[in-house]
Amino acid sequence: MHTKKTPIKFDPDLCVKCETTACLMNCQYIEFADRAEARAEKLKINEGKDSRVLHECLTCYACQEYCPFGNNPFYLLVERQEEKGILPAPKPIVEEQLRMMGPKGRLTKAPVSSPVVNMCTFPMLTGCVRGKLFEGASVIVGTDIFCNVMWLHFAKNSTIRERVPKMIDNIMSFYLSDADTNEMVCFHDECYGTYTSVADAYGIDVPFTPIHPFDFYNQRLDALKAHIKPLNAKIVYQRPCSNRLCPETDSTLDEIFEKIGADRVPRKYDRKTALCCGGVPRAHQRDEFADELVEKNIDDMLTTGATYCVFNCPFCMSTLGQEVADQGLMPILVSDLIQIALGD
Amino acid sequence: MQHEEILHRCFRCGYCKLPGNYTDINCPAYLSFRFETYSPGGRMWLLRAWLDKKIDAGSRFAEIMFSCATCGNCVEHCAFPEFRDRLLLAFIAGKEALLEAGCAPPAVRDYLTKMQLHGNAYARPMKKSGEWARDLDLPAYSDQEYLFFTDDAGTWDPRGQEIARSVATLLRQANVSFGVIPQGLCSDGNDVGAMGETALFEELAKKNIDVLSKFNVRKIITLSPHSFNALKNDYPALGGAYQVFHYTQVLAFAMSRLTFSENSDPVKIAFHDPCYLGRHNADYASGRMMLQAVPGINLVEMDRNRNDALCCGGGGGNFFTDLLSGGDDSSARVRVREAADAGARILAVACPQCAVMLEDAVKVENLDQTLRVAEVSEIVMERVALTY
Amino acid sequence: MTSDLIARLGEIVGPRYVSGHAEERYLYSMDQGTMPPAAPDAVVMPKNTEEVRQVVRLANELKTPVVPMGAGLVLSGLTRALKGGIIVDMKRMNHIIEVNPKSRYAVVEGGVSQGMLQAYLKKHHPELKHSMPDAPPIATLAGNVCIHGSGHLSVLGGSHSDMLTGMEVVLPTGEIVRTGSCSVAGQWFARSPLPDLSGLFMGWSGTTGIVTKLGIKLFPSYKHNDVLVFVAEDADLMPEIISRLTSTQVAEDMTPWMTPKPEWARGFLHINIAYGAHTKKELTFKRNLLQASVREYADQKIAGFLPLPPPQKGRFLKIPSPDLARFADLRKGGGFEYVGAIMAIEKFADAYRAGLAIAEKYQVSYSLGARIIGAGHCMMFFFAYAFNRADAEDVRRASDALEATNTAALDMGGIPWKAEEPAQKQIIEKMDPETFALMEKIRGVLDPNGIMNPGNWEK
């Protein structure tokens, strides 16, 4: 059965009326002579014409955040890349990963109870779900519930459209339909982005309530206030691309850091100007560029005098962790940092 | 025989023969005899061949099977996940099948007969099982926190008794609340089980469980890692569930209660991981923690340590049956050479069987002028300022 | 006669290290591969060269065959006693005699294992390493050199026989000879400039003597090590890709692999490229050279490097890789054997397709791959088939597939490596008759009684 594809939620008129072209003008990786040029390229994308942006895009998701109208510029860009067969990475690399990350049909129905924590495809990190922070949590994990947002990096909206509904169906039928809760805590904000921003833009129904990890942690910290021993430590934060899909949660992270006594030292490459960890450009065969990003990023981190380099994205941590550690910063996930403050 | 369905799956790639860093052969029987037949893979294939009636069960085959020291190196280093968890179980099942076929080396037969008749490997009257404590004046177990359980060697072997006495003294010095049951307990049966004599193991275990129940024992400190293993892992299935600790595990956390004499000469000590504390129960820390808490001790490591440690050769009942000695490369002799190479002046042990095996080896290797084998509580006691 | 043999051998090595028992005769009659068993009359384990010499002299006296054996991991049955006699298990001769850090060689006894030398160098000479094959670490250096093995430094240094710097060998008649510089100068730094007698003992499957010592080249061991995995879909591109990657002269090791399992890998052609450097900067520079050499394919989006975060690289950097031994568990049956064919690089696609076709025809579980030898000078292309040892039909299928592969490899102009006894006959059939006549002449001179591993390299 062939179902008609729901187009990306996008209003071309908003773009035409836009006076900033913030999506491209803020881009940290593609340079434009002036706004006129950026606007011209953006209009080409809108109209389905070829644009150098489609070829040069690092796929960092940031334009999703920069657009003042929430007009999904990045999802549209990926749509156009795929329509035109513009591959950011070699075909065998994409194909092989499509298979690696594909559903395996290995789930078995298991009772879960609140809080249900979705660990996506990070089975090696299920040990992070521990202690008071995650007391009573049920963990769900595996490629059969993979959020599939990564395909935004590979011009594969079609895969997102094909697989995300299946994953949602798996989450419901294997876990949540019989559970005492309709909420699902996303360990990785990439999952949260899928079930909120992406699902909305692609017209995918989400029958459960995704909870962002920061919201979950923040609430738990209120409940566990008596246990908090402030860290009194300076930290730098590696804000991941996935947080661009839910930028409103960044301020919640600030609240978390304040509660546990972590000083998020301002630096050049945090918040709106966060830098890509370098992982995806390597898949795009741009290692030398990735090296530059890593060097700039870590040099910037080192100017802060921080003790910890905090990650929320396990992939960023896997990509940058060793490099950061080699430079004397301790790489750590947000949840683990909180666990330290809680004495777990 | 149990596990026979896995025997043919062994590829004989030989990872099982080595430690994780490949330094040298780490399977005691293979090290000593060097024929492929004595390696874990050799045993797997021979068992298969025997079941397929391609070879007969004779004295050589029995010697090959019973020389396995159940040290667990093969389980640790086999390249096949999951399969490897059943390696030792298959060897033990193989020994059981050989016993059923009436095919056991004479030394094994003698050992098991003594166990059957006397409940200990020394053929001593069980009513004298409290004699090791002699003048120590240890309290009989009643409402103390722990029961102190001495194994066969600790109860009857002269050197084992010294160690049992030393551990008891140190436990007392560290204000650990414990008592002993002077009569009624027999061998823990660990090595009987490792020889495949399951029924006898269960008989011994049940006898002990009856006594332990009578005394309402909940927490046990064992002298031997072998006892620790049996009581912790095998007794629960037979109705005896206790909180079981090896003595190093209790003492490691009690070291801060000790006062040490000043001006102790610095000394280099290597810790020999006992197989039944280390590989079988994944505790590589307690013995080292005890030693590191003592001023003046400089802990050095042998090339093969922790999960790579070379067994003393006494496991699997070989301490009693002595099937592994005879060549220049008996495990114990190789081990003391390794300790000497590491620059250690003392080789620290945490098992009475290891102590006896390695002390004998030091003499054979003529290393007694430069290397001393000592049990960890003895090393600690030498430096403790006694308070009574 | 056998009890006399055992007693006489016992007088040489001590009774503990000789056996005529059914258990040893059974186990030493076969290896892990598919060749049928052939039992020895005795297994003996000498401790030194002199004991080896005495064993060989005794064998001459009794006209009894002698089969030298390292770890017995050849898989192609070369250490079976095809005509009975004595298997000489060399593993008690396991001393590392010398490491010369300045001239970068090690001298080891004939039973020293790969793992033992690796561990020794890591501890005592961390700046040096030797080329490890992907055989399990208990495999011996001597056995591997004698079969022209290859390994983790083979792009850099060629096959392991190319890394040999000299040998001490007990001849079939009991003389002890040395080849290479050690025969003149005492040191083991090179085989040149002398007549290269080492060739008399490599590739001969133990039919010309017993290697009791050898010198092997050592190479710099780097602080920083990395691996790239290149992925392509078109087998016809592989020779050019290999050529470009090797042209950088940066890789230590290059191993293409094509397997149907895990499922994601099926149909793709991978090349693991290992390289190292003293500094991170140098490592990055080398990576850039490798990537630049095949940039064109990435730009065309038809092939590229798999993105591997550092934690995922660990398994590719493990030397030797236990994955190869694990292949034996694929059918939960403890067996695999492979045809490794030494062949020209340009035959890559032919070999790949032949492997797929044979696996399909014989319904065997396969893994295909290669190790590049030298700077793209040739390759050892392997066709590995797993089988269930307990299933005679499965073993037969694997055996048939291996035989078909040997034929296919020879038809493609490749030469089966460490060939089984039947494959040796196939090779001889294709060999220049006068070349084979020379081989026979040499054997006749070296081994007048025909005692050395008889049944091998015979018409």
| Alpha-carbon gap, residue C426 to C408, rounded angstroms | 11
Do B and A have ≥3 inter-chain CB pairs under 8 A?
no
**CB–CB of C389 and B34 under 8 A?**
no
Instruction: Name the residue facing C389 among B8, B18, B54 (closest C-beta).
Output: B8
Q: Which domain holds residue C136?
A: 96-220
Task: Report which residue type is found at C418.
Answer: K
What's the rounded mean pLDDT across residues B89-104? 97
How many B/C residue pairs have CB atoms within 8 Å? 111
Residue B110 lies in a domain: no
Instruction: Name the residue facing A90 among C265, C287, C302 (closest C-beta).
Output: C302
Is C363 in the same domain as C305?
no
Residue B44 lies in a domain: yes
**What letter would DSSP give residue A275?**
P
Q: Which domain holds residue B172?
A: 122-251
Instruction: Name the residue facing B22 among C27, C94, C118 (closest C-beta).
Output: C118
Residue C198 lies in a domain: yes
pLDDT digits (tens, 9 = 90+) for A157-187: 999 999 999 999 999 999 999 998 999 999 9
Residue C457 lies in a domain: no
Is C71 in the same domain as C110?
no
Residue B386 lies in a domain: no
**Nearest residue in chain C measured CA to CA from B17:** C138
Q: How confident is the model at residue B385 (pLDDT cuts 50, 70, 90)?
A: confident
Q: How confident is the model at residue B388 (pLDDT cuts 50, 70, 90)?
A: low
Is C136 in the same domain as C60?
no
pLDDT in tens, chain C (459 residues): 578 999 999 999 999 999 999 999 999 999 999 999 999 999 999 999 999 999 999 999 999 999 999 999 999 999 999 999 999 999 999 999 999 999 999 999 999 999 999 999 999 999 999 999 999 999 999 999 999 999 999 999 999 999 999 999 999 999 999 999 999 998 999 999 999 999 999 999 999 999 999 999 999 999 999 999 999 999 999 999 999 999 999 999 999 999 999 999 999 999 999 999 999 999 999 999 999 999 999 999 999 999 998 888 998 999 998 888 888 888 999 999 999 999 999 999 999 999 999 999 999 999 999 999 999 999 999 999 999 999 999 999 999 999 999 999 999 999 999 999 999 999 999 999 999 999 999 999 999 999 999 999 999
Q: Is the CB of C35 inside 8 Å of chain A's CB atoms?
A: no
Is B263 in the same domain as B244?
no
Residue B116 lies in a domain: no
**Distance, C-alpha B296 to centroid of its chain:** 28
Q: How far is C295 from chain A (nearest CA, A)?
A: 9
C394 touches B8 (CB < 8 A): no
Residue C48 lies in a domain: yes
Give the per-residue pLDDT at C442.
98
Q: Which two tokens stand for residue C213?
A: 């010592």
Neighbours of chain B (3+ CB pairs under 8 A): C
Residues of B in contact with C19 (CB under 8 A): 35, 60
**CB–CB of C92 and B34 under 8 A?**
yes
Is C80 in the same domain as C26?
yes
* Cα→Cα distances B194→B88, B93, B187, Å: 9, 9, 13
Q: A115 preceded by cis ω (within 30°)? A: yes
Give the per-residue pLDDT at A5.
83
Residues of C in contact with A288 (CB under 8 A): 288
Domain end call among C319, C354, C385: C319
Give the per-residue pLDDT at B387.
60
pLDDT digits (tens, 9 = 90+) for B21-39: 999 999 999 999 999 999 9
Number of domains making up chain C: 4
Return the CATH fold of A224-341: Rossmann fold (3.40.50)
Number of domains making up chain B: 3
Domain end call among B251, B275, B295: B251
* CATH code for position C358: 3.40.462.10
Give the per-residue pLDDT at B262.
77
Do B and C have ≥3 inter-chain CB pairs under 8 A?
yes
Residues of A in contact with C291 (CB under 8 A): 285, 287
**CB–CB of C26 and B46 under 8 A?**
yes
Q: Which of B32, B37, B300 to mutate to test the interface with C (most CBs of C within 10 A)?
A: B37
Residue C446 lies in a domain: no
Domain end call among C319, C338, C368: C319
pLDDT at B101 over 90: yes
If you write DSSP's letter for every residue of C309-347 in order, what string do you get?
-HHHHHHHH-SS-HHHHHGGGTTTSEEEEEEEEEE-GGG
Is B204 in the same domain as B98?
no
Neighbours of chain C (3+ CB pairs under 8 A): A, B
| Alpha-carbon gap, residue B368 to B90, rounded angstroms | 39
Q: C262 preceded by cis ω (within 30°)? A: yes
Is C190 in the same domain as C265?
no
Average pLDDT, chain B: 96
| Alpha-carbon gap, residue B378 to A169, rounded angstroms | 64
Give the per-residue pLDDT at A343.
93
Is B277 in the same domain as B216?
no
Q: Which of C16, C21, C23 to mutate to test the interface with B (most CBs of B within 10 A)?
A: C23
Residue C441 lies in a domain: no
The interface pTM score, or ipTM, of the predicted complex is 0.97
Q: What is the mean pLDDT of each run of 10 residues along chain A (344 residues)?
A: 78 96 98 97 97 98 98 98 97 97 93 96 95 96 96 98 97 95 96 98 97 98 97 98 97 98 98 97 97 98 98 96 96 98 94
Residue C428 lies in a domain: no
**CB–CB of B17 and C138 under 8 A?**
yes
C33 touches C416 (CB < 8 A): no
Residue C437 lies in a domain: no
**CB–CB of C19 and B35 under 8 A?**
yes
| Alpha-carbon gap, residue B210 to A198, rounded angstroms | 65
Domain end call among C254, C286, C319: C319
| Alpha-carbon gap, residue B190 to B171, rounded angstroms | 24
* CATH code for position C267: 3.30.70.3450
* CATH code for position C69: 3.30.43.10
**CB–CB of C305 and A318 under 8 A?**
no
Domain end call among B233, B251, B269: B251
* Cα→Cα distances A243→A164, A270, B190, Å: 19, 12, 57
Is B333 in the same domain as B282?
yes
**CB–CB of B35 and C24 under 8 A?**
yes
pLDDT digits (tens, 9 = 90+) for B114-170: 999 999 999 999 889 999 998 899 999 999 999 999 999 999 999 999 999 999 999
Give the per-residue pLDDT at A115.
96
Beta-strand pair B372-375/A183-186:
unpaired
Q: Is the CB of C344 inside 8 Å of chain A's CB atoms?
A: no
CA angle A71, A77, A78 (to 5 degrees): 115
Residue B185 lies in a domain: yes
If you write DSSP's letter for every residue of C189-223 in order, what string do you get?
S-STTS--GGGGTSSSTTSS-EEEEEEEE-EEPPS
Residue C409 lies in a domain: yes
Domain end call among B229, B251, B273: B251
Residue B387 lies in a domain: no
Please, which residues have CB within 8 angstroms of residue B360's CB and are 6 or more apart in sequence?
A: B332
Taking the domains of chain A in order of start, what are their residue ranges? 12-84, 100-211, 224-341
Q: How far is B311 from chain C (nearest CA, A)?
A: 18
Please, which residues have CB within 8 angstroms of residue C30's CB and are 6 or more apart in sequence?
A: C36, C37, C38, C77, C80
Residue B268 lies in a domain: yes
Handedness of CA B55, B56, B61, B62 (dihedral sign): positive
If you write DSSP's letter for every residue of A127-181 in order, what string do you get?
GGS-TTTTTT-EEE-SGGG---GGGGGGT-HHHHHHHHHHHHHHIIIIIGGGSS-
Residues of C in contact with B37 (CB under 8 A): 23-24, 27
Reference A145, options A122, A127, A161; nearest CA is: A122
Q: How confident is the model at residue B105 (pLDDT cuts 50, 70, 90)?
A: very high
Q: What is the pTM (predicted TM-score) of this model?
A: 0.95
**Nearest residue in chain A measured CA to CA from C285:** A288
* CATH code for position B131: 3.40.50
